Amino acid sequence: MKVEVVAIGTELLLGQIVDTNSSWIGEQLALAGLDSHYQTKVGDNPARIEAVLNIALARSDAVICCGGLGPTQDDLTRNVLASVMGVALERDDAIEARIRSMFASRGRTMPENNLSQAMVPVGARVMDQQPGTAPGLVCPVGEKVIYAVPGVPYEMKEMIDGTVIPDLTARAGHTAVIRSRILRTWGTSESALAEMLAERIDQLDTSGNPTLAFLASGVEGLKVRITAKAPVETEAVGMLDREEAVLREILGDIVFGVDDQNMEAVIVAMLAERSLTVAVAESVTGGYVSGRLCAVPGASQVFQGGVVAYQPEVKFDLLGVEEGPVVTEGAALAMAHGVRRALKADIGLATTGVAGPDEAEGKPVGTVCLAVAGSMAERAVTIRLPGDRERIRQFSTITLLDLLRKELPAGELV
């Protein structure tokens, strides 16, 4: 059973609204074990909507059409569906009564244009769920089917869960589940990651299940998505477990998390497990490291606090950095030790660098020094980062956290 998603609305094409509906629908199809190979957006134009639906029907078994079921002049989905089905529209008295009742219950008079929402293509079935004034429609087209749902997310979700997924599962005549797992990595390029996994990808291409895909996520790193399809949940999860083990063996410590685990959540968990506390001295990052750590539930167990030491004098007077150049590994280490002592933390972190030409100190923009310091050991590195001011600050933040992640397992810092 191949299912296609068509999102309708000129506002989607203009970027005025982000199409989160299609993403959510795609996720629900995957969870139900239904294949979905195409998602399309189209504006509020009847000829183009009809053309897109005909293309979708030609290559898929079912189409989920989202949006265009409202009462205004640009809500054209009902008319186009009737044209695709080759039938007329007819007034559904039950829908009309339901819409009038909704307005009456709110003490409002129903505008006459809302009656357009009671028009249904002949032969279409109205979905039982109707949280708003727009009814969902199940429209047979020969052996295939179009499901029309509103674009309002909470209305759409109720209909997808209540009617569309159960109906599709019944039509498919079999049950299957598709599950995915994402391994999150930091510290290598997309091309290098592809080289590392090239042989494994070739092996999986032969079997076809599970599959691998790369997702570049900017300052959140590179993600490797494993997708497995199986008759039952336990079998799919078992396939994911086995493939994750293989990939971790290949990729090593560049894998820092799974699924929704971001770098700061991993760090907080590692520190809590070891009963360690951390403090941060930030120059180039200007509070970004502290902000990311504070965003993690439970951070209060491990995060002592931070100092934004942007001016050199703050580094000298408050953190004990020796007067002189401040974009050096020595300055970063002094900052890390200084904040660790000042805030009585087990571990100190520090960032100092050049985010713009007015801060150059004779060094290229993007030069950043990072440091991790404990009572027994310390480490500092100098890196060169690409991009504008914002990207340099963001990349510095996650790189520093990754540096701590790799130092903690050795147990030498404290």
Predicted confidence band of residue 110 (pLDDT cuts 50, 70, 90): confident
Domains, the chain, ordered by start: 3-172 (3.40.980.10), 177-258 (3.30.70.2860), 263-410 (3.90.950.20)
Prediction pTM value: 0.72
Residues 6+ apart with CB under 8 A from 68: 8, 9, 44, 49, 74, 75, 76, 77, 78, 80, 148, 151
Environment class of 2 (CB within 10 Å of its CB; exposed 0-12, middle 13-18, buried 19+): middle
Predicted confidence band of residue 386 (pLDDT cuts 50, 70, 90): confident
**130-170: per-residue pLDDT in tens?**
888 889 999 999 999 999 999 999 999 999 999 999 999 89
**79-108: per-residue pLDDT in tens?**
999 999 999 999 988 888 888 888 888 888
Cα gap 80→141, rounded to integer Å:
13
Residues 6+ apart with CB under 8 A from 340: 279, 346, 347, 348, 373, 374, 375
| Residue 162 · residue 168 · CB < 8 Å | no
Sign of the dihedral defined by the CA atoms of residues 197, 200, 201, 202, in that order: positive
Query: What integer pLDDT is reported at residue 153 of this predicted model?
Result: 93
**329-342: per-residue pLDDT in tens?**
999 999 999 999 99
* C-alpha dist (Å) from residue 18 to 13, 14, 39, 247, 264: 9, 9, 14, 33, 27
Average pLDDT of the chain, as a whole number? 92
Residues 6+ apart with CB under 8 A from 366: 353, 354, 355, 384, 385, 386, 387, 392
Residues 6+ apart with CB under 8 A from 174: none
Cα gap 124→49, rounded to integer Å:
18
- Mean predicted confidence (pLDDT) in 104-129: 87
Residues 6+ apart with CB under 8 A from 125: 137, 138, 139
Token pair of 278, please?
A: 């951390």
**211-246: per-residue pLDDT in tens?**
898 888 888 889 999 999 888 889 999 999 999 999
Query: What integer pLDDT is reported at residue 106 of this predicted model?
Result: 81
Give 19-26 contacts, CB < 8 A, sequence gap 24+: 20/153, 21/66, 21/67, 21/151, 21/153, 21/156, 22/66, 24/153, 24/157, 25/64, 25/66, 25/156, 25/160
* C-alpha dist (Å) from residue 281 to 49, 61, 270, 360: 56, 58, 20, 20
Predicted confidence band of residue 360 (pLDDT cuts 50, 70, 90): low
